[in-house]
Amino acid sequence: MRLLPGALGILLLLALLTWLLLRGIDTNAPAYAVTLKAFDDFALAEASLHRDVMQARAGVLGNYDTLGKAVEAMEDAVTRLRSHAQTEGLESGSVDRLATTVALQEELTERFKSSNALLQNSLSYVGLLSTSPTFGAQAKQLAPAIGALAAAILHLTRDSSSDAVKALQDRTDRFAAQAPTVGRHAEAAQALLAHARLLHDLLPAVDETLKTLVAVPSRQPLEVIRAQFSDRQSVVEATAQRFRLLLYLVSLLLLIMLASLGLQLRARAYARQRRAAFEHVIAKNSTRLINCPPAETEARLKQVLGEFCRAICGERAYVVLAENPTRVVACSTDGTVFRLAGSGAGAVRAARRSRTRHRHRAGCRRLAAWRSQGRVRGGRRTRLGLRAADPAGPSARHHGVRRLSTRVGQGFSTARGAACR
Amino acid sequence: MSLATTVLMAGRRIACLLLALVCLEAGSLADAQSPTLQPRAGEEPITPIPAAPVQDPRRVALGEQLFGDRRLSHDNTRSCLSCHDTGTNGASANAHDMTLEGRPLALNTPTVFNSALNFRLNWEGNVRSLEREAEETLRKPETMATSVDEVVSKLRADREAVRLFRDAYGSEPNGAALLDAIATYERSLVTPGGRFDRWLAGDAGAITPEELSGYQLFKSLGCISCHQGVNVGGNLFQRHGIFHPVGSAEPTLVRVPSLRNVATTPPYFHDGSAPTLSEAVKKMGVAQLDRELSDQQIAAIVAFLNTLTGTYRGQAVGAATTPPGAATVLP
């Protein structure tokens, strides 16, 4: 049960990191690539359609299958774009406009195919009649009119202006005036006239259809749709980027927390080491004091105090013995002899004053030494307290409780001292 | 003759020559004068029929079974096969098949073979997909007079049909699966392997010189303007009776019919008014080209059209000899 909060915290943290990661990598890239392909397909199909209608008009397109496929491809691309727009929650008005332009292009393409088939058919027929000896003996007579008619048709195939149309009308009328109406050549002459008149109407109409088809404004709605998808993608990418940044910040925070925990762990380990060493000193000196003959008590006590001083890096130590009169046993690590004047409560107060007086200097020195050893950073405070035990004790031994508080850097360790006698 | 007249004449001759060059591009007139035309893969206006698309054979089989299932009509009297005999030419020998009430349909029944290669379906070209065509045929009072839902309910009552649908679609009969199965089967009804396709593929001996001459004539006369592509037609709309009327006036605009297997699908035209291919060619010459074709030209073109007959399941497509089902031939 003690691990439950920790486990829950880790699970929550994992969920948070996973969520941030997923949102961070979710740039909608595959869907956007598919959308871009639909744009490419549309543009390719439209370009193919325009190329093929031009070729068909020039008479170099083999068949109209490619036109139908191009229109189908455009419709398919629009369908896909509509689907993607719905998926992305985009406004579909532009897709509708694009679909309308495709429908218009399809209608114009069908009109063009039908007209162009007749056009090519009639051109073929006029070419056949104007270059074959269909008119027999009359050919020489009719040749100028036929040639003029053919020239006018040829001119109209390249220029469907009103002047060219009028020129063809004139030549057609001139040929009609000369063409035989009876006899075995009449049929061919009338057929030539019929095709010429058909071309007179068809050529400008086909060219007009062609111009309209090529000029269908599909670019504008296409650009609008492209901009919509592009904007949407920018939003998605910006969101993903924000999540990636958030993920980075959370990761950074976790790293800082981890480092902090590591430092705390290290400080605690160090404190435990010191405590263990101090416990060892206490145990050793306790044994030493227990086995001490009464006559050697003071000397042994000084020795013990000296070891305590070294263990806690102190400079001086003292013990106030609850005797009558009160006696103070003191020692220093540097061998300096100091004595505390007075007796009883006065000695205790003197000891406290001495402690206060030396505490700052000693602390500063220890701190400098520890800093040079790299053991601490920041400030340190040592407090040494001593309290006389029950003076009425049968063994007249002195018990003390000492509290040592050490703050090292941001860490804090507390060692509770043991009894000594 | 003055110099100006001479220059004018020369100019007109040049114009004739240039126009002829334009027509060379459009109709390959020069090809008509070359009896030894070699097939140029990809350069002819007609392209070979591709092999049938790879589809789920279970769906094709189910579609074939449905195609001959009389439960697809309201009164269980006719199936798709009644008018589209896939054992012969994919259509019937009738000028007009009959409605359920016994009245003649308005238009001649086009063949179902290679219909998947048409850009639109029906004479009027008002249907874009085989699924939609199947649905319309089921719905129309003059054909099946039923509905998809009614057919589905009939099929759901048949354990064998349910099993077949489960095998093919993983579910009980439903409207989408029904239409898809029929369309899938129809997509398999292609007839590759015709002699002309073999010639296109490079087999110079696949067609005779007369047939090749007919092809040249077909192109030079301008027939190729409408009848081109993989289905030799079926990829554009055209008015009929450009110069002279042909058949009934309605509809004025028709989807150009495919000429694949045309030799096996008499009678011809949207109203079935041409009983033979020769007559159809002759009438088309007058109506669309304003030209009275000679018997020799007609024979050559018919010879070429005969090479467009393909094969289905290894057998050459043949003409429907007897009116199948409840259909009849109108006078």
Residue identified by tokens 């020692």 is A331
The two structure tokens encoding residue B95:
């000028």
pLDDT given at position A179? 83
pLDDT given at position A336? 66
The two structure tokens encoding residue A108:
């114009």
- CA of A149: how far to CAs of A130, A132, A218, A300, B15, in Å? 9, 15, 39, 142, 9
Q: How far is A86 from chain B (nearest CA, A)?
A: 23
Kindly report, residue by residue over B121-140, the tens digit of the pLDDT: 999 999 999 999 999 999 99
Question: Which residues on adjacent β-strands are paired with residue B46?
Answer: B229
* pTM of the shown model: 0.74
pLDDT given at position A169? 94
Q: How far is B30 from chain A (nearest CA, A)?
A: 10
Average pLDDT of A82-95?
A: 92
Residue identified by tokens 């227990």 is A290
Which of A62, A110, A187 is nearest residue B228 as measured by Cβ atoms? A62
The span from the CA of A139 to the CA of A130, in Å, is 9
- Residue B28 buriedness (CB in 10 A; 0-12 / 13-18 / 19+): buried
Output DSSP code: residue B317.
-
Q: Determine the residue of chain A that is closest to B230 in CA distance.
A: A65
Residues of A in contact with B9 (CB under 8 A): 143-144, 147
pLDDT at A285 exceeding the cut of 50? yes
Q: Are B114 and B231 in contact (CB under 8 A)?
A: yes
CA atoms within 13 A on the CB side of A129: 29
pLDDT at A418 exceeding the cut of 60? no
**Given an 8 Å threshold on Cβ–Cβ distance, is B29 in contact with A198?**
no
| A113 in contact with chain B, both atoms CB, cutoff 8 A | yes
Q: Determine the residue of chain A that is closest to B286 in CA distance.
A: A191
The span from the CA of B16 to the CA of A22, in Å, is 73
- Residue A307's pLDDT band, with cuts at 50, 70 and 90, is confident
Q: How far is A72 from chain B (nearest CA, A)?
A: 9
The span from the CA of B273 to the CA of B331, in Å, is 9
- Residue A313's pLDDT band, with cuts at 50, 70 and 90, is confident
pLDDT given at position A407? 32
For an interface test with A, which of B6, B19, B128, B294 has the most A Cβ atoms less than 10 Å from its Cβ? B19
Average pLDDT of A44-53?
A: 96
What angle do the packed helices B175-187 and B57-67 form, to 10 degrees? 100
pLDDT given at position A258? 93
Using alpha carbons only, give the angle A315, A318, A322 rounded to the nearest 5 degrees.
175
The span from the CA of B47 to the CA of B192, in Å, is 11
pLDDT given at position B155? 97
Bigger pLDDT: A404 vs A117: A117
Q: How far is B314 from chain A (nearest CA, A)?
A: 27
Question: Which residues on adjacent β-strands are paired with residue B254?
Answer: B238
Which of A120, A131, A195 is nearest residue B26 as measured by Cβ atoms? A120
Q: Are B199 and B40 in contact (CB under 8 A)?
A: no
Q: How far is B326 from chain A (nearest CA, A)?
A: 36
Sign, CA dihedral A331-A333-A335-A337, equals negative
Which of A117, A124, A148 is nearest residue B236 as measured by Cβ atoms? A117
pLDDT given at position B9? 53
Question: Can you tell me whether residue B157 is helix, strand or coil?
Answer: coil
The span from the CA of B273 to the CA of B264, in Å, is 15
Q: Are B212 and B27 in contact (CB under 8 A)?
A: no
Lowest mean pLDDT among A137-141, A176-180, B180-184: A137-141
The two structure tokens encoding residue A306:
């000296």
- Residue B147 buriedness (CB in 10 A; 0-12 / 13-18 / 19+): middle
Residue identified by tokens 């150009």 is B256
pLDDT at A19 exceeding the cut of 60? yes
- Residue A371's pLDDT band, with cuts at 50, 70 and 90, is low
pLDDT given at position A338? 62
The span from the CA of B96 to the CA of B328, in Å, is 7
The two structure tokens encoding residue B168:
């093919």
The span from the CA of B158 to the CA of B65, in Å, is 13
Which of B13, B220, B236 is nearest residue A110 as measured by Cβ atoms? B236
Tell me the average pLDDT of chain B: 87
The two structure tokens encoding residue B125:
């070209």
Question: Which residues on adjacent β-strands are paired with residue B312?
Answer: B315
Q: Are A74 and A46 in contact (CB under 8 A)?
A: yes
Q: Are A356 and A348 in contact (CB under 8 A)?
A: no
CA atoms within 13 A on the CB side of B317: 32
pLDDT given at position A344? 55
pLDDT at A350 exceeding the cut of 80? no
Give CA A159 to chain center in angstroms. Answer: 58
- CB contacts < 8 Å between A and B, how many? 139
The span from the CA of A47 to the CA of A27, in Å, is 31
Kindly report, residue by residue over B37-68, the tens digit of the pLDDT: 666 667 899 999 999 899 999 999 999 999 99
Q: At A374, give phi and psi (nearest 5°).
A: 75, 20
pLDDT given at position B116? 96
The span from the CA of B325 to the CA of B99, in Å, is 12
pLDDT at A393 exceeding the cut of 50? no
Q: Determine the residue of chain A that is closest to B41 in CA distance.
A: A62
Residues of A in contact with B239 (CB under 8 A): 114
Kindly report, residue by residue over A151-194, the tens digit of the pLDDT: 999 999 888 889 999 999 999 999 898 888 887 778 888 888 99
- Residue A356's pLDDT band, with cuts at 50, 70 and 90, is low
- Residue A402's pLDDT band, with cuts at 50, 70 and 90, is very low
The span from the CA of B25 to the CA of B20, in Å, is 9
Bigger pLDDT: A19 vs A191: A19
The span from the CA of B117 to the CA of B126, in Å, is 15
pLDDT given at position A409? 31
The span from the CA of B72 to the CA of B63, in Å, is 12
The span from the CA of A2 to the CA of A7, in Å, is 9
Which of A62, A150, A187 is nearest residue B15 as measured by Cβ atoms? A150
Catalogue the long-range contacts made by B168-173 (C-beta closer than 8 Å, 24 or more residues apart). B168/B56, B168/B58, B168/B59, B168/B61, B168/B62, B169/B59
**Percent of chain A clearing pLDDT 90 (strictly above):** 46
Q: Which of A147-151, A295-299, B58-62, B204-208 has the highest mean pLDDT?
A: B58-62
Q: How far is B96 from chain A (nearest CA, A)?
A: 27
Kindly report, residue by residue over B209-219, the tens digit of the pLDDT: 999 999 999 99
